[in-house]
Amino acid sequence: MESRKLELVRSILQVDNEADLEALESAVQAVKESARARQLVIGYRPSGTPVLKQRFLERLRHTLHDIEHNEYLPLATFERRAADW
């Protein structure tokens, strides 16, 4: 990974066109925003541990996939099972 980073830096150092430099700045900003979103705390669990935005979105996508493929437990069934706990 380090060699890829160094190669990227070398490539950037060769840029001498203002428009290309602006495009690179924009790309770097997009990468920073993406990294920040992966670590963005959107709430806390009752235990006090943080809920990260990226993790929440991953779980939401998984849940939607399960619903679309009828891989879920209806609330009434869950309530019946929970009564026996």
pLDDT tens for 35-67 read 887 778 899 999 998 898 888 999 999 999 999
Between these two residues, 71 and 38, which has the higher pLDDT value?
Answer: 71
**Domains of the chain, residue spans:** 2-83
pLDDT tens for 16-28 read 999 999 999 999 9
Instruction: State both tokens at 30.
Output: 């997009």
**CA–CA distance from 73 to each of 49, 80, 84, 85 (Å)?**
27, 11, 16, 16
Residue ranges of the alpha helices (H) in the chain? Answer: 2-13, 18-39, 53-68, 75-83
pLDDT at 85 over 90: no
